[in-house]
Structure 1
Amino acid sequence: MRAAVSRWWAPVYGALLVLALTWPFLVPGEAFALRDMMVFDQMALTRASLGWGDLAARNVPQDALLGILPWPVAFLRVFMVAAAGCAAWAGHRFGCTPFGQAAAMTVAVWNPFVVERLLQGQWSLAAAAWLLPLVALGLVPASGLAHWLASLTPTGALAAACFSRGWRGVAVSVCTCLPWVVAGVFAGTPGTSSAASAAAFAPRAEAYAGTLGSLLGLGGIWNGQVVPASRELGFALFGVALCALLALAWRSVPRRFLLLAALGFAVALASWAGLTAPLIQHLPGGGLLRDGQKWLVLAIPAFVVAAGALEPRRALAAATFALLQVPDAPVALAALTPTTIEVPAVDHRGRDVLFESRPALVPIDGHPVVDPAPKAMNVVESGALTVDGVAVDPPSLRWSAAQAALDNQARLRELGVGVVVRADGSVAETGEPARPLPPAGIALFALWCMVPLLLCVRNHTGAHRTPSPAHF
């Protein structure tokens, strides 16, 4: 009986953790739309989804993949549940005792970072956080595949690259970063941000824990509207207690993991102190640093390994503290349940569409959600963003020029605009034909798609490795 319990408790516990946080993705519905999340089955491959649009390549290659899949919504459902399952499995592998396994699984799956990022709609970043422990585990080829999937977002690509090893790990890192790096360099959208955005996206304090305490528990996202109610009632303090407990096992954590965790905290703290503003404003690609709290993702593998190395009583306490950090997570995540969206019906035939007065964020179910139009067609995008009344991102140059030339068809054609949708709903055509997708963008996206082939070659030519935490 004891052997049977020992064999089955981990899958059951892991499944409960995964289902508790991913249940909204199992609810029937036609689209997922919440703040930064916009996934529906009519998504298209556009220049913007390849990173060659009017805005920085922040959603590359995520939107390109969704644009070629026949059922993006079904993919999202499977992907999110599988990513959480990978976190639970990797946590189990890092555990040294049954209670250590439970603690590591809990820390890997159930933490404020993934909950708050899911509520912000940054599903690919939350998935990357779940996949990172498997990347760090170093299994062949599972860790490489996790690295590839984590690279759906640039932040996930960089984070996974930090934990990859060997020359093939470098090759995977290069292949997964090239689509957005090249687009940022050559597409004229380098990804810099205004100085005002440094303050707007800085980490914030959660009740009773302060900003530092919130960060220690992997919380502290800039948007207070996405923080679960429990975090504002003082439950963030359990994150401080958890961090203190995990610190007792720091000698069992690989030095590289500790250094990367320190780097993640350093970026978050620098953002809090306002030290990243010059980089954000002037360094191409510096926009990756403006949301400094998201780099706490680099600390997750160290936290998981430390939790797995704790002696049983401390491990049990760690699992309890991890759950109590966000005890209402399953309830808060109900905001992720599918909804209904309305995509503008425009006969664009591949041409660039200019909407005269369409906001970048539209209200859906009481939440601001990114406009679905740019994900279904080539749109002249504004990209203007205001946070708490502060303009942090100005509109794109092409959008501003096109808005100023609404009645000048010759100028609109120069700007590549083929269709204009007026504020009154009327549609005007300029005669400008559809522009082809950028060959470089297609080639780089194809390279990204071929990464699993590289991993298969590695699997057949190299020996299978199943390292234990002691071998890092």
Structure 2
Amino acid sequence: MTAERTRHLVAALTGLGLGLAALGPGLAPGFVLSYDMVFVPDPAFTRMTFGLTGIVPRHVPSDAFATALGTVLPADLAQKLILLAIFVMACTAAASLVPSRRLLPRLAAGVCYAWNPFVAERLLLGQWALLLGYAALPWVVAAASRLDEPRGGRRLVRALIPAAIGGFAALTISALTALTVALVTGRTGRARARSAAQVIGAVAGLSLPWLVPGLLRPAGLPEDGTAVDLFAARADTPFGTLGSLLALGGVWNGETVPSGYGAPATATIWLVVVVGALAAYWRWCREPGWRRGAAAAAAAGFVVAGLGAVAAPVLEWVIGLWPGFAVFRDGQQYAAPLAVVIAVGLGVAADRAAEARWTGAAAGAMAVPVILLPTLAWGAAGDLRAVRYPDDWARARQLIHGDPVAGDVLVLPWASYRGYPWNHGRRVLDPLPRYLHRRVVVNDAVTVDGTTVAAEDPRAVRLAPVAGTGTPAADTLRNEGIRYVVVDAETAAARPSGAAVAVLRGRDLAVYRIDGSGAAAGDGVRAGPAVAAWFVTSVLVIWSILPSGITLSLPLLGSIHPRGSKRRTP
């Protein structure tokens, strides 16, 4: 094994150790359910998996990836492997960017990138799909700076695959980073234009699985300018919003800030480390390929991250021009490229310390992120624990799946996030749309600090006036194609009124059947364009991972031939 491969292996093992330490009780049998992180036993591919039900396809293609992995492995094991892979990739990718042959500086960068407030807050928010793209971002930086080299496009697509799995938010952040690096590192105007075209082409091709169903939604792209203020970055340290963002914190949801984070003493030390790492990056990082590009991406990301907090009207105006720009509302996530620069800067500082034979300082640089954020350990101080779905859920699924009569499912009470007692009261996005294989209608409106972002699912919008009462009329639900109503059992007051048959009344769930339900209105997306989108993206991914001398021949679907070889003519 070469020395370089050994360094990569040690970085990967270090990342694995960090993942094991961070997940802690979440590694027990069962599922970690926290806010947007929803995994279910025995997942299945449904129309929802591919964004064909008419809802905004934010979960595409991450749900398909989780379902595929959960089909060949126990689903709870699949979740743990995905979460551990985030830490392994993050540590390995950041370590690979440090321009040093020494191991300690590389590990300092890897640990800093895998263990920081950004990772902790996004993990508690359950955004594992976003963190997949974050983990591979250092590889994206390196690949985007080498697009003018042979096979540069293939390297970029490969580096973008984790973000592509993560979906629209992860890929948007990676695209912004790659485009900035490509434009800054290009030597001539023509080279910059060619590199930018490669980035745009790669991102567009990898975006098709969620882009096509999103654009073809009958209801169009959702618009809600009020959400800018709700999801803008917020201060979680004594240094205000911008200072918190500089320290890689600033998440909009105060409930997902790690326990004890932001205390004046540790926050001050961490900010000094961050500023020192940025200074070290600027002074000592001499990597000619991506140095300026990564710095520019970090600056651009920081501007976007703070936009909603300091210039909300500007962002609202941009979203008004095209609703797709709403992807910039959750500002803190755009601090990701800044995390790359901070991690590399810390690694470079550790390298200078090692060069001066200050081995203790180099080792301290590796340990300081963990020391200053100890509450990420042990499942974020116990917040991330594995739980099992209650038996009532399994009985409800068996009953509903065993019914040959068509019809959808409505969930009461009318809310999108739940605080189940069996999940220790921790909020989680309602798992039933993934747990059941029928179309499940839930209230997808989100309420933050008393302000509600309007629902986006057309079915939810139509049913809200009656479902919001808690006792919707069975006749109305029947006309909307609802066959079953599932109610959290602790909310005894919620149930359909009229001719609804109680088929299950358990401690955790109650299920009511509405006989004679009719066909639901068609709000979905046609499968044909989505299938074509997946095919094109799959071809692009396969092309990127094939050996360099192999090319896919698109006219002859699936035929493979060495580059430069001649085809035989019959």
2:244 corresponding residue in structure 1: 214
Q: Which amino acid aligns with 1:55?
A: I
The alpha-carbon distance between structure 1 residues 23 and 454, as it changes in their structure 2 partners (threshold 3 A), is: farther
Alpha-carbon distance, 1:404 to partner: 5.2
Deviation track 1:104-128 (CA, whole Å, cap 9, x = no partner) reads: 1112211111111010111111222
Please give the residue correspondences for 1:218-367 in structure 2 after superposition, counting only pairs within 5 Å.
218-234=248-264, 235-248=266-279, 249-251=281-283, 252=285, 254-273=291-310, 274=312, 275-280=314-319, 283-310=322-349, 311-312=352-353, 316=363, 318-333=365-380, 334-342=382-390, 343=393, 344-345=396-397, 346-347=400-401, 351-355=407-411, 357-364=413-420, 365-367=424-426
Question: 1:419-468, CA deviations, whole angstroms, 9 ceiling, x for partnerless residues?
Answer: 24272542114142898972323332344445431212364449xxxxxx
State the one-letter code of the partner of 2:430: D
Q: Which moved more, 1:57-66 or 1:116-125?
A: 57-66
Q: How much has 1:237 moved relative to structure 2?
A: 2.6
Amino acid at match of 2:62: Q
Give 2:141's match in structure 1, choosing from 136, 153, 157: 136
Identity, in percent, stands at 25
Tell me what 1:112 maps to.
Answer: 117
Matched pairs, number: 455
**Structure 1 position 159 matched with structure 2 position 173:** yes
- Aligned residue number for residue 470 of structure 1: none
Instruction: Give the AA of the match of 1:452.
Output: V
Q: Which amino acid aligns with 1:454?
A: W
1:91 and 2:91 equivalent? no
Question: SS of the counterpart of 2:440?
Answer: coil
How far apart, CA to CA, are the structure 2 residues paired with 1:62 and 1:222? 23
Q: 1:198 and 1:27, CA in 2 relative to 1: closer, same or farther beyond 3 A?
A: same
Alpha-carbon offset, residue 358 of structure 1? 4.2
Partner of 1:148: 161
- Matched residues in 2 for 1:176 and 1:24: separation? 35
SS at match of 1:294: helix
Report the secondary structure of 2:233's partner residue. Answer: coil
TM-score normalised to structure 2 length: 0.71
1:100 has 2:164 as partner:
no
- TM-superposed deviation, 1:24: 4.7
- Name the counterpart of 2:463: 402
Contact 2:301 2:336 survives alignment (8 Å): yes
CA distance in 2, matches of 1:20, 1:393: 38
Quick one: structure 1 residues 340 and 28, their matched pair in 2 at CA, closer, same or farther if it must change by over 3 Å?
closer
2:91–2:107 Cα contact (<8 Å) kept = no
The Cα of 1:65 is off from its aligned counterpart by 2.7
Are the counterparts in 2 of residues 203 and 211 from structure 1 also a CA contact under 8 Å?
Answer: yes
SS in structure 1 at match of 2:269: helix
* Greater gyration radius: 2
Question: Do the aligned partners of 1:133 and 1:300 also contact (CA within 8 Å) in 2?
Answer: no
Aligned-partner SS, 2:340? helix
* CA separation of 1:363 and 1:431: change in aligned 2, threshold 3 A: same
Provide closer, same or farther for how the CA distance between residues 355 and 320 of structure 1 changes in structure 2, counting only shifts above 3 A: closer
Structure 1 residues 11 and 35: CA distance shift in structure 2, 3 A: closer
Deviations 1:276-306 (A, max 9, x none): 2333455222331111111111323222332
Residues 460 and 136 (structure 1 numbering): CA distance in 2 closer, same or farther, change over 3 Å?
Answer: farther
For each residue in 1:305-339, what CA deviation from the matched residue of structure 2 results, as whole angstroms up to 9, or x when unmatched? Answer: 32332222575554344234422211352322221
CA distance in 1, matches of 2:321, 2:457: 17
Q: Aligned to 1:34, what secondary structure does the other structure show?
A: coil
Q: Quick one: which amino acid aligns to residue 36 of structure 1?
A: D
Q: Structure 1 length normalisation: TM-score?
A: 0.84
Distance in 1 between the 2:384 and 2:282 partners? Answer: 36
1:370 deviates by 0.9
Greater RCO (Cα-Cα under 8 Å, separation 6 or more) = 1
Q: Distance in 2 between matches of 1:324 and 1:123?
A: 24
Instruction: Report what 1:61 is aligned to.
Output: 61
Q: 1:157 is aligned with what amino acid?
A: L
What CA distance in whole angstroms lies between the structure 2 residues aligned with 1:77 and 1:47? Answer: 25
Residue of structure 2 in register with 1:421 after alignment: 485
5+ unaligned residues in a row in structure 1: which ranges?
463-472
Q: Report matched runs for 1:10-89 at 5 Å.
A: 13-29=14-30, 31-69=31-69, 70=71, 71=73, 72-89=75-92
Q: CA deviation at 1:40?
A: 1.3
Which of 169, 183, 187 is residue 217 of structure 2 equivalent to?
A: 187
Q: Give distance in 2, aligned partners of 1:427 and 1:26.
A: 37
CA–CA distance in structure 2, aligned partners of residues 276 and 291 of structure 1: 11
Looking at structure 2, the residues matched to 439 and 378 of structure 1 have their Cα atoms a distance apart, in angstroms, of: 19
Determine whether 1:379 maps to 2:440. yes
Contact 2:414 2:443 in 1 (8 A): no
Letter of the aligned partner of 1:304 in structure 2?
Answer: A
AA of the residue aligned to 2:46: T
Q: Distance in 1 between matches of 2:407 and 2:372?
A: 49
CA separation in 2, counterparts of 1:407 and 1:183?
A: 32
Q: Structure 2, unaligned stretches of length 5 or more?
A: 183-194, 467-471, 487-494, 497-510, 552-570
What displacement does 1:143 show?
Answer: 6.3
Partner SS, residue 426 of structure 1: strand
Q: Distance in 2 between matches of 1:401 and 1:261?
A: 43
Equivalent residue of 1:336, what SS? coil
Partner amino acid, structure 2, of 1:271: G
2:445 matched to 1:432?
A: no
Aligned counterpart for 1:454 among listed residues 526, 535, 543: 543
For residue 421 of structure 1, give the secondary structure of its aligned residue in structure 2.
Answer: strand
Q: 1:419 to 1:238 in 2, by over 3 A?
A: farther
How far does residue 409 in structure 1 lie from its aligned partner after superposition? Answer: 6.1
Look up the equivalent residue of 1:441 and give its one-letter code.
A
Q: SS of the residue aligned with 1:454?
A: helix
Question: Structure 1 CA distance, aligned partners of 2:365 and 2:33?
Answer: 34
The residue identity in structure 1 corresponding to 2:130 is L
Q: Are the aligned partners of 2:29 and 2:76 in contact in 1 as well (CA < 8 Å)?
A: no
Given that 1:201 and 1:222 are in contact with CA atoms closer than 8 Å, whether structure 2 keeps it comes out as: yes
Distance 1:67 1:86 in 2: 21
The SS at the match of 2:389 is coil
Aligned equivalents of 1:411 and 1:244: distance in 2? 58
Shift of the 90–399 alpha-carbon distance from structure 1 to 2, 3 Å rule, reads: closer
Q: Would you say the 8 A contact 1:57–1:180 is kept in 2?
A: yes
Moved more, 326-335 or 360-369: 326-335
- Show the counterpart of 1:466: none
